[in-house]
Structure 1
Amino acid sequence: MLDLKRITELVGELEEEQLLEVLADFTKASPSADEAATVVQACQEGMTIIGDRFSEGEYFIGDLVFGGELLTNTIKVLKPFLGESDSTISGKILLGTVAGDLHDIGKNIFRGMAEAAGFEVVDIGIDAPIQAFVDMAKEVEPQIIGMSGVLTLALDAMKDTTKALKAAGIDSKIIIGGNPVTQEACEDIGADAFTTNAAQGVKICQGWV
């Protein structure tokens, strides 16, 4: 039986080799999409450990970057099992980390899971200016716009970006995600939904399309 707690610990300890060995054994059994999603969630919990250790001064920027790469590799391994997608695109999502925030781990996890679910994802990266969201939304006409942020100041950037998008006449659904996001913040920002869990976020998007 898969030890999800062990997976969380391996991510938190940045034990890439051991983690990939566990994942290799896991995928040999052809897991279901739900089973694969629970592993991604366990990895997300491991990223919380990394974030906490960074805040406490135990880990450094290099460790955060390595953790992000570790998660990216994990998503690549699990992507074939996260959901069957064919040539039909479920919908289009414009995604980015808002201005003033340089974190991309949560964004990348969400992108990987959304792509596995059949979405076309246009990722404009980190520290994305308000105008970048507006311009790209006009260009690609996404059904959904996802804004990510880890820092508390990201909430103001999300609110300003949402106002600019609506002022530009863009009527895409807006979902926000990240540690500081709450129902109260979602309402203040003017977003349609919020999530702190990538799998849940993808389900919300699927409900919209």
Structure 2
Amino acid sequence: MKSKDELLKLLAEYVKDMEDEKIKDVAREYLEAGYPAKDGILDGLTVGMKEAGKLYDEEEYYIAELLLCADAMYAGIDILKAEIKKDNEKKTKAVIGVIDGDTHDIGKNLVKIMLETAGFDMIDLGKDVAVKDFIKAAIDNKVSLVCMSSLMSTTMYGMKKVIEGLAECGYRDSVKIMVGGGPVTESFAIQIGADAYSDNAIEAVNVAKILCGLN
């Protein structure tokens, strides 16, 4: 039987190598060995996706390869996620989406999965989400956290409009705002009035927990 570290390494490698079929067998073997599903996602699949991201940054991978890596990651997540025990406690509700004009959602999807794994009740608005839809979803669902992302400098100021809209509706003080994405920085988050910034999915979990008083 393979050790936990060996299986985690294989999960990471199969994401990076775009092995969406082989990864299913490894994920099942991991669970059958009795290892925690959450660790498989955070310390295996996520690591592999980060390695794929580095290869993309170094121009060894292109968008097509990155999408195939994401397919492999999701194939593993589908198996591992089913075994994550649900907390009996009331979950913290959060809205997540990619701002209006931007259709890049790989990073958003990963953050969503990580937050779900951490126990958040995620309401996924998808990509290219209008400002008014962010505001409506946050208020209608009485969420405690709004997560917005953008991978384009031309669209990221839409996040500021969401924050301003929440303030105009009198809901800003009832919700925390976390932003992220390629061109987004901590200084930009402060500039638009967000509560926090995160540059990766693992950090997003820690930041979200702190914002919502769960740490």
TM tier, shorter chain?
Answer: 0.7 to 0.9
Counterpart for residue 189 of structure 2:
186
Counterpart residue type for residue 198 of structure 1: A
Distance of 1:154 and 1:40 partners within structure 2: 29
Deviation at 1:103, TM superposition (A): 1.5
Helix, strand or coil: the match of 2:97? strand
Deviation at 1:99, TM superposition (A): 1.1
* Structure 2 unpaired stretches of 5+: none
More displaced 10-residue stretch of structure 1: 116-125 or 31-40: 31-40
Distance of 1:157 and 1:124 partners within structure 2: 15
Change in 2 beyond 3 A, CA 1:97/1:40: same
Q: Compute the TM-score of the two structures, normalised by the length of structure 1.
A: 0.81
More displaced 10-residue stretch of structure 1: 136-145 or 72-81: 72-81
Distance of 1:57 and 1:167 partners within structure 2: 46
Counterpart residue type for residue 89 of structure 2: T
Helix, strand or coil: the match of 1:118? coil
Native 8 Å contact 2:100 2:127 kept in 1? yes
Distance of 2:30 and 2:76 partners within structure 1: 12
Change in 2 beyond 3 A, CA 1:50/1:108: farther
* Structure 1 unpaired stretches of 5+: none
1:12-161 correspondence to structure 2 within 5 Å: 12-32=16-36, 35-36=39-40, 37-49=42-54, 51-52=56-57, 56=59, 59-61=62-64, 63-80=65-82, 84-161=85-162
Counterpart for residue 197 of structure 1:
200
More displaced 10-residue stretch of structure 1: 143-152 or 33-42: 33-42
Distance of 1:50 and 1:89 partners within structure 2: 40
Native 8 Å contact 1:95 1:123 kept in 2? yes
Distance of 2:184 and 2:35 partners within structure 1: 31
Distance of 2:36 and 2:61 partners within structure 1: 36
Report how many aligned residue pairs link the two structures.
205
Helix, strand or coil: the match of 1:90? coil
Deviation at 1:42, TM superposition (A): 0.6
1:19-63 alpha-carbon deviations (Å, 9 max, x no partner): 33333333332223663321243133144146447xx496355x4
Deviation at 1:192, TM superposition (A): 0.7
Distance of 2:45 and 2:19 partners within structure 1: 16
Change in 2 beyond 3 A, CA 1:107/1:6: same
